[in-house]
Amino acid sequence: MALRDLEQAKQTAERTIEAASSALREVSLSIHAKPELNYEEHHAHAVLTDYLAAQGFAVERGAYGMPTAFKAVTGSGGPTLAVFCEYDALPGIGHACGHNLIAISGLATGIALKAALGEGNGTVLVLGSPAEEGGGGKIRMMERGALEGVDAAMMLHPSPGDTAWPAMIALEQVNVEYFGRNAHAGAAPWAGVNALDAIVLAYTSISAMRQQLRPTDRVHGVITKGGEKANIIPDYTSAQFLIRSKSLSDLNEVRAKVLGCFEGAALATGCRLNVVPPPGPAYADVSTNDVIAEAYCENMERFEMRMPSKEASAGLGGASTDMGNVSYVVPSIHPVFGIPTEDGAGNHTPGFTAAAATEEAHRATLRASKALAMTALDLYANPDLLKKAWAEMRR
Ligand SMILES: [Zn+2]
Ligand SMILES: [Zn+2]
């Protein structure tokens, strides 16, 4: 696409998204009404792939050997840009991370680019990535070639505020089990080996250790099994912990300390510790590509959105995403866009679930999607911009 046609292409992108608003809203609400967990997103997978196929994309359902992943392609020639959809929910609280909105932001961006680019000006991939909430869907997809030939990747995420530089940090899950010995808690407690004591000791050791962590580190967990009955010394307990840090190397340091707490509790109580293999690979921090993020901010200004600078965004956040791993393979952005919530409810709360279904959140999603599509058009139209993005990535 010649650069002089860029403005026209951006207007086409905007019009296309606006015209699809009610159809996209229907898709969003349908996914919101039927929340599905990691790798079980069959309804969302069906709704999204049906939509893209009806729009003329070449759709591969169950892509990369994963039943709920998909790949939808349109356009031809280079460059190739990938836009990710997410659509998994959280146990008990449904779409409390608003992934129904991310799902339609991928559709909106995809159809806008299809209409604005035409043939021969570049290739658009809409990639459906399951299991962002801990399952590492994007990492598995990458291992199976999803990013081969891709020049840049992008996606959007709802949050209480807007920035193109969210501080999304590295994450790893550590699940542990303690094995002790049952005994009658009244008649012969000395015969028991108390697995609950082990987990409580580990929990309090980690709490004490937290004082020595950097402000950018996080360790948080829940006891998933604490015993059966007060009159039985528990012979089995389990816990799930998450460790987060600024980078994977910081994360490795914190993990060693956390494992020390678990081992110490085993020694103190005489229990056997089992560190369960994590359900998915560690998430890297998001390395936002400044060149592409700045283009996104400029495009958001077309909608009277003054975006905070990189400097002003530093340290905001503390959540994690498998988009981090993508961002270390190709230049990437993962801007967050604000949706109005009651009483300042943040992601992973029932208040956010409610907010993710509102008309206001839908409008905010479309606005951010328009800016994302325009940012992609900047990259398609201007090979130098993509070169700059890659030069920054190599640095
Ligand atoms: Zn989430
Ligand atoms: Zn999320």
Instruction: Please list, in sequence order, all residues whose beta carbon lies within 8 angstroms of the beta carbon of residue 119, skipping any fewer than 6 positions away.
Output: 75, 76, 77
Interval 16-26: pLDDT, tens: 999 999 999 99
What mean pLDDT comes out for the span 104-128?
96
Nearest to 289 by CA among 154, 157, 143, 171: 154
| Residue 334 Cα to ligand 2 middle (Å) | 11
Ligand nearest to the CA of 336: 2
| Ligand 1: centre distance to CA 346 (Å) | 10
Does residue 224 have a pLDDT over 70?
yes
**Domain residues of the chain, as ranges?**
3-168+286-394, 170-276
Q: Write the pLDDT tens digit of every residue in 290-336.
A: 999 999 999 999 999 999 999 999 876 789 999 999 999 999 999 99
Whole-angstrom distance, CA of residue 249 vs CA of residue 236: 32
Q: Is the peptide bond before 79 cis (omega within 30 degrees of 0)?
A: yes
Question: How many Å lie between the centroid of ligand 1 and the Cα of residue 297?
Answer: 23
- Interval between CA 103 and ligand 1 midpoint (Å): 13
Residue spans of alpha helices (H) in the chain: 6-19, 21-33, 42-54, 99-117, 137-143, 195-209, 248-269, 290-301, 310-313, 323-327, 350-355, 359-381, 383-394
What is the fold, at CATH topology level, of the domain defined by 3-168+286-394? Aminopeptidase (3.40.630)
pLDDT category at 279 given cuts 50, 70, 90 is confident
Rounded to the nearest angstrom, the distance between the alpha carbon of 283 and the centre of ligand 1 is 13
Q: Distance from the CA of 116 to the center of ligand 1, in angstroms?
A: 31
Q: How far is ligand 1, taken at its centre, from the CA of residue 286, in Å?
A: 14
Which ligand lies nearest the alpha carbon of 85? 2
pLDDT per residue as tens digits for the range 334-367:
999 999 999 999 999 999 999 999 999 999 999 9
Specify the fold of 170-276: Alpha-Beta Plaits (3.30.70)
Instruction: Report the separation in Å between the CA atom of 59 and the middle of ligand 1, taken as the mean of its atom positions.
Output: 26
Ligand number with the minimum distance to the CA of 90: 1
pLDDT of residue 281: 87
Distance from residue 212's CA to the centre of ligand 2 (Å): 29
What's the CA-to-centroid distance between 97 and ligand 2, angstroms?
5
Cα of 268 vs centre of ligand 1, distance in Å, is: 36
Q: Which pLDDT belongs to residue 317? A: 72
| Dist. CA 131 → ligand 2 center (Å) | 10
Ligand 2 center–CA 44 separation, angstroms? 15
Say whether pLDDT at 283 is over 80: yes
Q: What is the pLDDT of residue 314?
A: 83
The rounded distance, in Å, linking the Cα atoms of 20 and 357 is 17
Q: Is 91 exposed, middle or buried (0-12, 13-18, 19+ CB in 10 A)?
A: exposed
Distance, C-alpha 274 to centroid of its chain: 28
CB 252 within 8 A of CB 237: no
Cα 90 to middle of ligand 1, angstroms: 8
Q: How close is the Cα of 143 to the center of ligand 1, in Å?
A: 22
Question: Confidence class of residue 4 from pLDDT cuts 50, 70 and 90?
Answer: low
Average model confidence (pLDDT) for the chain? 96
Q: How far is the CA of 160 from the centre of ligand 2 (A)?
A: 12
Cβ neighbours around 10 below 10 Å, total: 22
pLDDT for 280 equals 81
End-to-end CA gap in the chain: 28
Report whether 296 contacts 200 (CB < 8 A).
no
CA of 305 to the centre of ligand 2 (A): 22
Residue 1 has pLDDT above 80, yes or no: no
Tokens for 136?
């590492």
Query: Per-residue confidence at 145, pLDDT binned at 50, 70, 90?
Result: very high
Q: Looking at this protein, which amino acid is placed at residue 19? A: A
